[in-house]
């Protein structure tokens, strides 16, 4: 479909598009994008928080194997996803992919689900960040600080980075992630060296995972990968997006899968399989820090605790960047208010960053007010804000990846001139869609367990609805736009390409 470009409005948008694509904005290479992805998964947070919780809640030893299986599933998903990224460069990755691969209404629905999911992940992490920092200050300095106070300070710092140069964020995250990896590697080596019950491969055996409860393990594990799919979000700021984004995606998935599998295996060996579940349930994140203090030295334990905080901070920055770019993309195409496409003089999505900051402040304030005097005590922000929001966000992102897999098939089917192989255009995306749909169903089936509930409650329905309902409303909104503004509707999901005739595009 041909898009008119002669009006003053279109001329202004074309100028914005040219600025967005200028070399000045294209600062990110493979290493930078990979670090942004890995930072979102927060290596030390996954080990100290996620892995210990998984062992404690599920009582299954096969957690290391689950990371390898999930890594294989996401690698298959990444085949079509990365191939499509070579042809679609858009800061609202899921939004653009679904729009061009399935339909524009589906794309708008996916965009709002993605926007909600990333916000839930980002804001939810603030809950454990506030608890961890306030506890650290209390233990080290004897000063009681309310959990929400460190969050407000952190929100301000993240906001400052969000409107600054994106490569500055990448450099900050790179330094923090490098230190995290170093600490976790030290922990892994020490664990295999101590091995109180000897070195065992039982955590990698299928019999340790493929038993009742596997759904809960996969549900916890998939959250550790969340953020790997965000590579395409940085396509408009990558130096060579057609090469940078696919390479960064594959690199990140491989590193995350292997690193977490080895580290969770080290935890099982270092603690001792017979003692693991009880120790993880009683100590939680302190399982890692106490082990380092006992076998490496207290300085190492203290450094690890500080890096646990910076690990959370790195994840917050990464998810903040993802949310800001979705706002920018939707504002640019007028699916959401146009002022959301405003950028700073550094080229960062300023308006989207500020809106995400406002959301974080409001949600934090709401939980702080609701939790005043809660019987949950200091753990309130962890057991509510962190647990509820991040699990709902992870569920939404898994659903979106399954839908994107279907979109990849549709995209290449509509564009035979691209000459993609059957493996890339059909087989891998189909396998990815089925596998991710299975993981999504397992998350839904185990959602009560993920929320720490012993029986279904209103939360079991409300939290999934927060992710799904915006998607349905987005579909209805797009259908309305098709009737009321045909030109705007035609541009949905096509970013800068929507201003010219799009290869093989057809009205949907």
Which tens digits make up the pLDDT trace of 32-73? 777 767 766 678 888 987 898 888 878 899 999 999 999 999
For CA atoms 94, 95, 101, 106, the dihedral sign is: positive
Nearest alpha carbon to residue 400 among 290, 460, 322, 345: 322
Is 29 a residue whose pLDDT tops 60?
Answer: yes
User: Whole-angstrom Cα distance, residue 80 to residue 93?
Assistant: 13
User: Residue 20: pLDDT band by 50, 70, 90 thresholds?
Assistant: very low
2 within a domain of the structure (yes/no): no
**What is the average pLDDT across 233-245?**
71
Is 504 a residue whose pLDDT tops 50?
Answer: no
Q: Which residues pair with 238 in a beta bridge?
A: 28
* Domain enclosing residue 469, as ranges: 8-499
Q: What does the DSSP assignment read for 369-396?
A: HHTTT-TTGGGHHIIIIIHHHHHHHHHH
Is 454 a residue whose pLDDT tops 90?
Answer: no
Nearest alpha carbon to residue 77 among 205, 249, 215: 249
- DSSP H helical segments within 195-297, as ranges? 214-225, 241-271, 273-283, 286-295
Is 296 a residue whose pLDDT tops 60?
Answer: yes
Looking at the chain, the whole-number percentage of residues with pLDDT higher than 90 is 38
Here the CATH number for the domain that contains residue 230 is 1.20.1740.10
506 within a domain of the structure (yes/no): no
**pLDDT of the residue at 4:** 36
User: Residue 470: pLDDT band by 50, 70, 90 thresholds?
Assistant: very high
381 within a domain of the structure (yes/no): yes
200 within a domain of the structure (yes/no): yes
When the pLDDT of each residue in the chain is averaged and rounded to a whole number, the result is 83
How many structural domains comprise the chain?
1
**pLDDT of the residue at 165:** 58
User: Whole-angstrom Cα distance, residue 43 to residue 37?
Assistant: 11
φ/ψ of residue 238, rounded to 5: -85, 150
User: Whole-angstrom Cα distance, residue 441 to residue 434?
Assistant: 11
3-state secondary structure of 16: helix
User: Residue 274: pLDDT band by 50, 70, 90 thresholds?
Assistant: very high
In angstroms and rounded to an integer, the radius of gyration of the C-alpha atoms of the chain is 22
Is 132 a residue whose pLDDT tops 80?
Answer: yes
φ/ψ of residue 492, rounded to 5: -55, 125
Which tens digits make up the pLDDT trace of 152-167? 999 999 998 877 755 5
**pLDDT of the residue at 219:** 78
Is 501 a residue whose pLDDT tops 50?
Answer: no
Nearest alpha carbon to residue 116 among 466, 442, 448: 466
The 3-class secondary structure across 156-199, one letter per residue, is: HHHHHHHCCCHHHHHHHHHHHHHHHHHHHHHHHHHHHHHCCCCC
Is 384 a residue whose pLDDT tops 90?
Answer: no
To the nearest 10°, the Cα dihedral for 342, 176, 400, 415?
A: 70
Is 17 a residue whose pLDDT tops 60?
Answer: no
108 within a domain of the structure (yes/no): yes
Q: Nearest 5 degrees, angle CA 421-CA 422-CA 428?
A: 110
Cβ pair 209, 62 in contact under 8 A:
yes
Looking at the chain, the whole-number percentage of residues with pLDDT higher than 70 is 85
Q: Which residues contact 239 (CB under 8 A, 6 or more apart)?
A: 26, 27, 28, 29
**pLDDT of the residue at 495:** 57
């Amino acid at each position: 479909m041909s898009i008119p470009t002669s009006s003053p409005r279109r001329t202004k948008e074309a100028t914005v598009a040219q600025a967005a694509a200028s070399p000045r904005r294209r600062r990110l290479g493979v290493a930078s994008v990979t670090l942004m992805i890995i930072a979102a998964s927060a290596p030390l947070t996954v080990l100290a928080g996620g892995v210990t919780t998984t062992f404690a809640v599920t009582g299954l030893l096969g957690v290391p194997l689950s990371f390898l299986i999930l890594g294989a599933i996401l690698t298959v998903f990444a085949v079509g996803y990365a191939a499509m990224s070579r042809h679609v460069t858009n800061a609202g990755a899921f939004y653009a992919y679904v729009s061009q691969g399935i339909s524009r209404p589906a794309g708008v629905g996916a965009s709002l689900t993605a926007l909600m999911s990333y916000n839930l992940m980002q804001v939810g992490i603030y809950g454990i960040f506030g608890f961890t920092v306030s506890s650290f200050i209390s233990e080290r300095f004897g000063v009681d600080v309310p959990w929400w106070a460190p969050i407000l300070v952190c929100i301000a710092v993240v906001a400052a980075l969000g409107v600054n140069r994106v490569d500055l964020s990448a450099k900050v995250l790179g330094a923090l992630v490098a230190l995290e990896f170093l600490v976790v590697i030290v922990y892994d080596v020490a664990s295999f060296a101590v091995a109180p019950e000897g070195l065992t491969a039982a955590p990698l055996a299928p019999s340790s995972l493929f038993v009742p409860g596997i759904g809960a393990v996969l549900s916890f594990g998939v959250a550790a990968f969340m953020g790997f799919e965000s590579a395409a979000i940085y396509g408009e700021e990558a130096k060579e997006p057609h090469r940078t984004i696919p390479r960064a995606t594959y690199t990140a998935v491989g590193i995350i899968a292997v690193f977490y599998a080895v580290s969770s295996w080290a935890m099982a060996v270092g603690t001792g399989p017979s003692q693991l579940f009880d120790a993880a349930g009683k100590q939680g994140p302190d399982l890692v820090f106490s082990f380092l203090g006992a076998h490496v030295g207290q300085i190492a334990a203290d450094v690890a605790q500080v890096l646990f905080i910076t690990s959370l901070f790195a994840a917050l920055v990464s998810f903040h960047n993802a949310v800001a770019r979705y706002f920018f993309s939707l504002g640019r195409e007028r699916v959401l208010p146009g002022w959301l496409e405003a950028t700073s003089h550094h080229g960062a999505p300023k308006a989207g960053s500020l809106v995400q900051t406002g959301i974080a402040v409001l949600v934090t304030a709401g939980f702080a007010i609701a939790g005043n005097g809660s019987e949950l005590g200091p753990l309130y922000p962890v057991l509510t804000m962190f647990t509820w929001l991040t699990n709902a966000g992870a569920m939404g992102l898994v659903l979106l990846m399954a839908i994107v897999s279907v979109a990849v098939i549709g995209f290449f089917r509509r564009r035979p001139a691209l000459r993609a192989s059957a493996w890339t255009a059909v087989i891998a995306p189909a396998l990815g869609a089925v596998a991710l749909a299975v993981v999504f169903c397992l998350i839904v089936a185990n959602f009560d367990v993920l929320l720490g509930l012993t029986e279904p409650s209103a939360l079991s329905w409300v939290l999934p609805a927060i992710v799904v309902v915006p998607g349905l409303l987005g579909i209805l909104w797009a259908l309305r736009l098709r009737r009321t503004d045909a030109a705007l509707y035609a541009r949905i999901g096509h970013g800068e390409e929507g201003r010219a005739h799009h290869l093989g595009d057809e009205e949907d």
